Amino acid sequence: MKHSNFDKTLTLFLTFLKIGAFTFGGGYAMVALLESEFIYKKKWIEKDDFLNMIAIAESTPGPMAVNSATYIGYHVAGFYGATAATLAVCIPSFIVIYCISLFFNQFLSLHYITCAFKGIQVCVVYLILTAGIRMLKNLERNLFNTLIILIVAIIMIIFSITATSFSSIYYILICGGVGVIVYFFKKNIQR
């Protein structure tokens, strides 16, 4: 491993350790922190690559936080970067869950803990909403993207009103399928 690659790998490890320690609510809550760290502060990833990372991390098996760390780590510093970032993002959660499991019943009986988690839930909603709005702002404005967003939003509202259960996995698969169909349609028109 080259010296500069070692520095990047170490920086990735420390950054993802920090992000993993201070992100509550899973991968979506992490998106705003990832964007801030890797697009704006370190400038290691472009906005388009970041949006692709979110799509890949969400649509592949496993937790989004782990998938994002692996993707960014590999993008920045190859195999060692992916390994360091993935390990770092998992360490804080592992330690917290392990400690909670030791004292689970006593932990849940503390009124202050229950109140803290209620406050954290509000913050998580804010972080997810902020990340979604930022991603929406960075999305290329064209007819295809606008139609997909409108159709998914309308379907989500209808399903919410009618209390119909519809997994987000189906949204991802359907939108991915539509994207492939549009790609082949455009390719055939250009011929």
Count CB atoms within 10 A of the CB of residue 3.
7
pLDDT at 44 over 70: yes
Rounded distance between C-alpha atoms, residue 174 and residue 186, angstroms? 18
b/e per residue, 98-110, with b = 16+ CB within 10 A? eeeeeeeeeeeee
> At 87, is the pLDDT very low, low, confident or very high (cuts 50, 70, 90)?
very high
pLDDT of residue 26: 67
Residue type for 66, please? V
Reported confidence tier of residue 25, pLDDT bands at 50, 70, 90: low
Q: What is the 3-state secondary structure (H, E, C) of 18-46?
A: HHHHHCCCCHHHHHHHHHHHHHHHCCCCC
- pLDDT-derived band of residue 3, with 50, 70 and 90 as boundaries? low
Q: How far apart are CA 88 and CA 80, in angstroms?
A: 12
Tokens of 149: 């967003």
Token pair of 166, please?
């519809």
* pTM over cut 0.75: no
* 92-116 average pLDDT score: 82
Q: How many CB atoms lie within 10 A of CB 122?
A: 9
* The amino acid at 160: S
First to last CA, the chain: 46
Q: Are 104 and 117 in contact (CB under 8 A)?
A: no
Q: Kindly report, residue by residue over 119-175, the tens digit of the pLDDT.
A: 888 887 887 788 788 888 888 888 888 888 888 888 888 988 888 887 878 877 888
Residue with tokens 């592949």: 60
Q: What angle do CA 158, 161, 166 make, to 5 degrees?
A: 60
> What residues contact 132, with CB distance under 8 A and at least 6 apart?
28
Range from 77-81, 106-110, 187-191 carrying the lowest mean pLDDT: 106-110
Q: How confident is the model at residue 88 (pLDDT cuts 50, 70, 90)?
A: very high
Helix/strand/coil percentages in the chain, nearest 5: 85, 0, 15
DSSP state of 14: H
- Taking residues 86-95, what's their average pLDDT? 92
Q: Does the pLDDT of residue 190 top 80, yes or no?
A: no
- pLDDT number for residue 105: 74
Q: Taking residues 38-49, what's their average pLDDT?
A: 89
